[in-house]
Amino acid sequence: AMIFLADQARACGATLVGAWPTDGYTFHRSWAVEAGQFVGLVLDEHNQAELTEPRLQRWAAILQKEFCP
């Protein structure tokens, strides 16, 4: 679903921010990967719930840098 939201936002003229690295995830293929990164934060509450809080904190720092350089 993430890529469909991203595509719709771009179709409306939005510039996406908050790309997220694919490191640390186990998957075979994802439509949400562009240029080697997810188009946004991916959380895996089922398999990696313990990583949710650190990922949120790291993503918030990334967004802060992108919005307020």
- Report d(CA 3, CA 55) in Å as an integer: 19
Per-residue pLDDT, 57:
98
CATH of the domain at 58: 3.40.50.360
- Read off the pLDDT band of 51 (50, 70, 90): very high
To the nearest whole number, what is the mean pLDDT of the chain?
96
- The predicted model scores a pTM of 0.87
Task: Return the exposure string of 38-55: e unless at least 16 CB atoms fall within 10 Å of the residue's CB, then b.
Answer: bbbbbeeeeeeeeeeeeb
Residue 56, pLDDT score: 98
Range of the domain at 47: 2-67
Alpha carbon distance 38, 16 (integer Å): 11
Please state the domain count of the chain. 1
Residue 69 has pLDDT above 90, yes or no: no
